[in-house]
Chains A and B, each alone.
Chain A
Amino acid sequence: MGEMEQMKKEAEALKTQIEAARKAVHDTDMASAASGVAPAPRVQLKTRRNLKGHLAKIYAMHWSTDNRLMVSASQDGKLLIWDSHSGNKVNAVPLKSSWVMTCAYAPSGNLVASGGLDNMCTVYNLKTPVIKTVKELDAHTGYLSCARFLSDTEVLTASGDTTCALWDLETGKQKTVFLNHVGDCMCLSLSPDMNSFVSGACDSLAKLWDIRDGQCKQTFLGHTSDINAISFYPGGNAIITGSDDCTCKMYDLRADQELITYQDAALNSGVTSLALSMSGRLIFAGYDDFNCNIWDSLKGEKVGVLSGHDNRVSCTGVPPDGMCVCTGSWDSFLKIWN
């Protein structure tokens, strides 16, 4: 038997082994385990702010760690920094390329980043008298779908070239490239302890990576289409994913498997974005059908809906203090709800 044949057999055997190991610990399912938990109350949130300013589709938004400022990105070629309390625009950053797909706020509040079809991640300093471009991170061979700052010196990116990368902002070079996905990487989420991150891709897989050694530690199967959104659960032991297959799923990292699927027969639009309330109990998932549905993460039931946008909800975000949820849409508006 040739080596290739042998390897193929070994790979199949390992996949069967993993399946069996997951089954062996599957002594209950999440919904049964949560039967003793009181249902979450019906969630009815009101629009508190309607942020008008962008002139085209909004593709991304990210909260600052100060719970007040946020950055949004639109294909009108601008990043806007908003003061969510007053509703005022604090800054506008003109982009070299208007085909933006992601934006991020550094934890320090000093820097923001954007990227998209230009295949680059551009980092800007908000604290200089005039906003300056600090670095252009140029090495990906596909579009930039997501960027997140670890600090003022390190950025993580996810790309359509199927890789994720950790960059050194001082040198502008990639320190680590995370290779394993076989489809465009669409999203990433940093673990609360910042030692690992998860990525979702068009290969319908979610992967857990060790930031320092660059290895893929675990792979989560189950979705049947592109994973567009991903987020760590606040405790750090689980992740939630949102997909073009119209469902969201929770995977537990320590049980190494899917625990629950959030789906409804009436829902046949893809999930574009998601954010969790600060206890993790509520999942805010944005869909192509212009709504943001609210799910009880423990019981798997829909407990509310945020309606009001006139086009696809493309991004959602909850600030660290959990005081509100922001939705951004192709209708060019951002709404703040609580």
Chain B
Amino acid sequence: MSSNSNLTSMRRTVEQLKLEASVDRIKVSQAAADLQQYCLQNASKDALLVGVPAGSNPFREPRSCALL
């Protein structure tokens, strides 16, 4: 077990932590508001949320009346 490589590894850990500590953070209330806004603005286009009319559902065979 090389003490040199442990030291190098530790130095890297400290450098990485310094980088992560320097991040600018926004308030959770702001983050939450932005996420909500995104969801709500796109809700009407979200087929799994609002459903798909049977006629325009590519995974559903349209029912048709056969005239005999």
Is A212's CB within 8 Å of the partner chain B? no
Q: Mark B16-59, 1 if CB is under 8 A from A, else 0.
A: 11111101011111111111101111110111110010000111
Docked Cα-Cα span, A30 to B39, in Å, equals 14
Is A26's CB within 8 Å of the partner chain B? yes
Is A156's CB within 8 Å of the partner chain B? no
**Residue of A26, A219, A259, A282 touching B48 (CB-CB under 8 A):** A282
Docked Cα-Cα span, A279 to B37, in Å, equals 10
The winner among A24, A68, A255, A297 for most chain B CB atoms within 10 A is A255
**Residue of B7, B23, B32, B42 touching A33 (CB-CB under 8 A):** B32
The winner among B31, B43, B48 for most chain A CB atoms within 10 A is B48
**Residue of A3, A43, A297, A336 touching B39 (CB-CB under 8 A):** A297
Q: Name B's interface SS.
A: helix
Size category of the B interface is 35 or more
Is A237's CB within 8 Å of the partner chain B? yes
Q: Which residues of chain A have a CB within 8 Å of any CB of chain B?
A: 3-4, 7-8, 10-11, 14-15, 17-18, 21-22, 24-30, 33-34, 37, 40-41, 43, 45, 48-49, 68, 84-85, 180, 215-219, 233-235, 237-238, 252, 254-257, 259, 277-282, 297-298, 318, 321-325, 336, 338
Chain B residues whose C-beta falls within 8 Å of the C-beta of A24 in the assembled complex: 25
Shortest beta-carbon distance from A164 to chain B in Å: 15
Chain B residues whose C-beta falls within 8 Å of the C-beta of A325 in the assembled complex: 48
Docked Cα-Cα span, A323 to B52, in Å, equals 8
Q: Name A's interface SS.
A: loop
Query: Do A7 and B14 have beta carbons less than 8 Å apart?
Result: yes
Chain A residues whose C-beta falls within 8 Å of the C-beta of B59 in the assembled complex: 48-49, 84-85, 323-324, 336, 338
Chain A residues whose C-beta falls within 8 Å of the C-beta of B58 in the assembled complex: 68, 85, 323
